Amino acid sequence: MKTLNLTQEWDKIFPKSEKVNHEKVTFTNRYGITLAADLYTPKAAIEREKSELASISEREQARPKVKNASGKLAAIAVSGPYGAVKEQSSGIYAQTLAERGFITLAFDPSFTGESGGEVREVSSPDINTEDYSAAIDYLVSRPDVDDERIGIVGICGLGGVSIAAAAQDTRIKATVSSTMGSFDDFSHEERIAARKVINAQRTRVARGEQLPRIITVPNPCPADAPDFIRDYHDFYCTPRGFHPRSVNSGLGWQATGIYSYNSFSLFDYAEEIESAVLLVHGEKAYSRYASEKVMKLLKGDNKELLIIPGASHCDLYDGGKDKVIPFDKIEAFFNENLK
């Protein structure tokens, strides 16, 4: 495992909760990339366990491999949005769910944030799907996690990746995809045009040209920018959600950063997901079609689409001014399906 230089100060866009314990952890995916994550554990459960252990005889405490039942908790791995870091939205989801009794792990995908990967600010649907399974590997290795009660949350583009992960990894018992972004919504003609552009960029790089980063969220925001760009800008480029390690906060993608998504569908096996899935989307989000599309692919009576009235795409990043992230619903969903 490669040693990462992790920031130890609290540099997140949200305040630290006094209801949870927090620590930085690392783990490695099957491609050998070391991932950085924030682990949140609920203080209430830990204090309850200490109290209950104190009442057990010294002989019981000395027995090997004895674990009090209250010490094994349900766990949830969280990532996203696409181009964001764990100090932003995924940390908000993870810390809030830890306050509600879950062990949670907010991680940076490969090649981004504090995670490893020698080429920076690129992405891969295969590797990013594997990142979720690597997070599950980490969680099942912990003695305080019930490995039969593990779920995941994916936000924005990682919401789409979370669907691929749920189809691939049967250890995932419940999945929440929030404000899902889709990478396969192009027409045939648009996809071919995109391939031509990105392959021309590869040729230029191969010939030694240093291409500028692709800035997905312009700052300042143009006066004639569409509403969804304004929505992104309001989150990533203002004190509300800015983080210097975030691709979308100005760092930018490599010119060929999203190359793999031109020939990969995240949803090919969505109909084979047997575990529970909750899709959450804003009524006014430009990306709402993505959750509606996936909902039509999913099979079984343990699948649900929840539309949040009046919410935009980025309102589900941090709750927006009206705090619209349905944490009560998400908590109830995980409690029901991670029994």
> Using an 8 Å Cβ cutoff, are 337 and 174 in contact?
yes
How confident is the model over 158-182, as pLDDT tens digits?
999 999 999 999 999 999 999 998 7
Q: What is the pLDDT of residues 220-265, one digit of tens each?
A: 999 999 999 999 999 999 999 999 999 999 999 998 888 888 778 8
**Max CA distance (Å), the chain:** 72
Handedness of CA 77, 81, 82, 83 (dihedral sign): negative
> Are 46 and 216 contacting, i.e. CB atoms less than 8 angstroms apart?
no
CA distances in angstroms from 282 to 7, 178, 179, 201, listed in the order given: 33, 9, 7, 35
pLDDT tops 70 at residue 70: no
Which amino acid belongs to residue 73? L
- What confidence category does residue 68 fall into, taking pLDDT thresholds of 50, 70 and 90? very low
**Pick from 178, 172, 3: which is nearest to 79 by CA?**
178
Q: What is the pTM of this model?
A: 0.92
Helix (H, G, I), strand (E, B) or coil at 178: strand
What is the crossing angle of helices 157-168 and 288-297, to 10°? 10
Name the one residue in this structure whose structure tokens are 């047997």: 274
CA distances from 118 to 24, 102, 128, 261, 285 (A): 21, 33, 15, 20, 34
What is the pLDDT, as a whole number, of residue 251?
A: 93
* Model pLDDT, residue 143: 96
Q: Are 309 and 322 in contact (CB under 8 A)?
A: no
Contacts of 188 (CB under 8 A, 6+ apart): none
Q: How many CB atoms lie within 10 A of CB 270?
A: 22
- State how far the Cα of 181 lies from the Cα of 226, in Å rounded to an integer: 17
pLDDT class for 47, splitting at 50, 70, 90? Answer: low
Please give the mean pLDDT across all residues of the chain.
91
Q: Which residue has the higher pLDDT, 83 or 255?
A: 83
Closest-CA residue to 130 (of 149, 102, 158, 88): 158
CA-nearest of 113, 272, 310, 81 to 180 is 81
Contact (CB, 8 A) for 235 and 317? yes
For the ranges 66-70, 191-195, 263-267, the lowest mean pLDDT is seen at 66-70
- Per cent of the chain over pLDDT 70 is 92
| Structural domains for the chain | 20-184+268-337 (3.40.50.1820)
Q: Strands 20-28, 34-42: parallel, antiparallel or unpaired by DSSP? A: antiparallel
CA distance 55 to 114: 42
Give me the phi and psi of 214, to 5 degrees please: -90, 115
Phi/psi region, residue 198 (left: phi>0; alpha: psi -120 to 50; beta: rest), is alpha
Q: Which of 40-54, 190-204, 283-297 has the lowest mean pLDDT?
A: 40-54
Q: Helix crossing, 327-337 with 89-99: angle to 10°?
A: 60
Q: What is the pLDDT of residue 51?
A: 52
Alpha helices in the chain (DSSP H): 43-54, 58-62, 89-99, 125-140, 157-168, 188-206, 227-236, 288-297, 315-318, 327-337
Whether the predicted pLDDT of 126 surpasses 60: yes
